[in-house]
A and B are shown apart, each in its own frame.
Chain A
Amino acid sequence: MISTLPTLNSRDDSVSNAPSLFVLDVGHGSCAVLRDSGYVVVFDSGPAFPLLRFLQEEGISKIDLVVISHSDEDHIAGLIGVIACDKISISKVRLNSDFVKDSKVWIDLMWELNQKHRAGDIDLGISLTTADSGQFNFGEIEIEFLAPDQFAASTNVASNKHRSRRFKSNSRSVVVRLSRGGQPMVFLAGDIDEIGFNALLNNCPNPHAPILVYPHHGGSSGANDESAFAEQLCNTIKPTTVLFSIGRGKHETPRPEIVETMRKLVPNLRVACTQLSKNCCADHASPLLHLTALFAAGREQKRCCAGTIAITLSSPLTISPEEDLHKEFIHEAAPEGLCIRQIGTEN
């Protein structure tokens, strides 16, 4: 029920004793870090170096769990650096059993992980399904795995078909929902596509969460109609805030029709992208005064929009950067930004 969901407030400071989730600005890619009661959980590791910089700047030297949603390079490459460096320890790594994208970077990751696993330094698991929900609730935050279920995880993505449509690697991306005290808070969609999401709904018909980290960076998901998929996500997850983890100038994300569809369906929807989309403005010279002090990959090159986004997982939820300041920046830097431009409303 939507009425049971916590409300959203905005707050300027990013430091709090309550559990916090940081949706990192890693450029094009995905990475989120949960800090909860002294524990640290990383959901996807983004590309290359940003995760390492974030962990260093936040003084994090121990990670209790890393969850990898699927094997795309923009979700895994950052972990290679964290494992290899001799400054941060990792207790557990759980990978989605998605090996179809056997890229060199994936093999790099497995080579590195295998060394640490054989040395007894990392507890490595090559499977993540809905059955793992509740296995990793270290602190106050409940970590639910909404997808893939055992059937999806065991489907051969290279050859099989699923309900007469192509079942791809992204179809079985791990999807996570974070809740506190039974109240859903954040939906981390990984790169789930329409087929995978429909399979998710079979197991979890009410996947509500006030904050949605949009799948596949708001790019093409392979759906027949991206607007219809966005509408389905809106109607089932019922978010009041949608976050896009994007790299400025990469893959033309987020797609305008996705943002427009969601804004039409949800009055006062807050939309925040980690970096400023080229779909919002080609160039800008606006100062980034609204950003938090947290590391953001786009800060130096002035590619940030919201930068790294900090969510305090309390009731009410709070988000930094604060919405008014962020909007002020968007109005100045990108007056025709996708999240503020005039749109016709339905109903």
Chain B
Amino acid sequence: MVASGIRRVSIIDDDPNERSFLVDEFEGRFTPVTWAGPYETIAELVDQVVATSDAVTCDHHLVKNYARERGAAFVADFYSRKFPAVLRTKYGKAELHEIRRYRNRIPVLLTPDDIDPESFEKAWAICEQEFSGRFLPSREPWRTLIRVENVERPNFVDVVIPAWNHREVVRLLIDLLPNDARPRLAEGLRFHAKVNLGTESQDDLYFADFEFAG
């Protein structure tokens, strides 16, 4: 699986050393375009990247004096505009909750161990497939039942997705759920959402299109 026609690749990272490292990695295979910041809004940067390149990679942990949003929000925005984007993070599980908010629009999350041109090329190809409605089994969304197992106000709700793994509890940020549903959260509440049931790891689960009956 190789992305088609990707030549110019934008690198969004607040760390100049990382930008420089990626320029070296991409040299010879892609034409790197770096973005040094700062940026006031997502739209400002996204518009410029889309206009000047074929794909983008973005670090998640961006400092406030570079951009006001985290990288996951940028990548999700690129995805919504059907522009191939790959998120990178070295924080792993520490930023899982924050990233999960956008995970349905982040097809691939790369860690420092995955950083090589082939991985990026495959990741962008996966993006392009999703834009045309073709999902890997691990990424395909399915409308499914979710049961609330436990509520830890004000921040977390623990849920079980029986059609994914009825033995595993998944912790979600409460503010991932719609505003009007939050007061109703209680053990035993059942609702529907779109979830990628085919994934093995709960780290890669995403949730979208919540439906609360009544």
Find residues 14-52 in chain A having any chain B CB closer than 8 Å to their own CB. 47-49, 52
Find residues 63-114 in chain A having any chain B CB closer than 8 Å to their own CB. 73, 77-78, 80-81, 84-87, 104-105, 108-109, 111-112
Is residue B137 within 8 Å, beta carbon to beta carbon, of the partner chain? yes
Tell whether, in the assembled complex, residue B137 and residue A104 are in contact, meaning their CB atoms are under 8 Å apart.
no
Separation of A87 and B163 alpha carbons in the complex (Å): 15
Is residue A53 within 8 Å, beta carbon to beta carbon, of the partner chain? yes
Cβ contacts B68-85/A at 8 Å (1 or 0 each): 000000000000000000
- The one of B137, B163, B213 in contact with A80, judged by C-beta atoms closer than 8 angstroms, is B163
Tell whether, in the assembled complex, residue B166 and residue A78 are in contact, meaning their CB atoms are under 8 Å apart.
no
Separation of A73 and B163 alpha carbons in the complex (Å): 11
Known: A53-B137, A108-B190, A111-B190. A48 touches B144 (CB 8 A): no
Known: A104-B147, A111-B190, A112-B145. A84 touches B163 (CB 8 A): yes
Separation of A104 and B149 alpha carbons in the complex (Å): 10
Nearest-CB distance from A306 to chain B (Å)? 21
The main secondary structure of chain A at its interface with chain B is: helix
Tell whether, in the assembled complex, residue A52 and residue B163 are in contact, meaning their CB atoms are under 8 Å apart.
yes
Tell whether, in the assembled complex, residue B190 and residue A84 are in contact, meaning their CB atoms are under 8 Å apart.
no
Is residue B197 within 8 Å, beta carbon to beta carbon, of the partner chain? yes
B residues in contact with A77, CB < 8 Å: 162-163, 166
Please, which residue of chain B has its CB at the minimum distance from the CB of A108? B162
A residues in contact with B198, CB < 8 Å: 49, 53
Interface size on A, residues (CB 8 A): 21
Separation of A250 and B25 alpha carbons in the complex (Å): 44
Tell whether, in the assembled complex, residue A84 and residue B166 are in contact, meaning their CB atoms are under 8 Å apart.
no
Separation of A84 and B147 alpha carbons in the complex (Å): 13
Is residue B61 within 8 Å, beta carbon to beta carbon, of the partner chain? no
Seed contacts A80-B162, A84-B163, A112-B145; 13 additional CB < 8 Å A-B pairs: A48-B162, A48-B164, A49-B198, A53-B137, A53-B198, A77-B163, A77-B166, A81-B197, A84-B144, A86-B143, A104-B166, A108-B145, A109-B162
A residues in contact with B166, CB < 8 Å: 47-48, 73, 77, 104-105, 108
- The one of B145, B147, B197, B213 in contact with A52, judged by C-beta atoms closer than 8 angstroms, is B197
Is residue B165 within 8 Å, beta carbon to beta carbon, of the partner chain? yes
A residues contacting B by CB (< 8 A) are 47-49, 52-53, 73, 77-78, 80-81, 84-87, 104-105, 108-109, 111-112, 115
Known: A49-B197, A49-B198. A85 touches B162 (CB 8 A): no
Is residue B142 within 8 Å, beta carbon to beta carbon, of the partner chain? yes
- The one of A48, A111, A115 in contact with B163, judged by C-beta atoms closer than 8 angstroms, is A48
Nearest-CB distance from B42 to chain A (Å)? 32
A residues in contact with B163, CB < 8 Å: 48-49, 52, 77-78, 80-81, 84
28 A/B residue pairs, CB under 8 Å, sorted by A: A47-B166, A48-B163, A48-B164, A48-B165, A48-B166, A49-B164, A52-B142, A73-B166, A77-B162, A77-B163, A77-B166, A78-B163, A80-B145, A80-B162, A81-B145, A81-B162, A81-B163, A84-B142, A84-B143, A85-B142, A85-B144, A86-B143, A87-B142, A104-B147, A105-B162, A108-B166, A111-B190, A115-B213
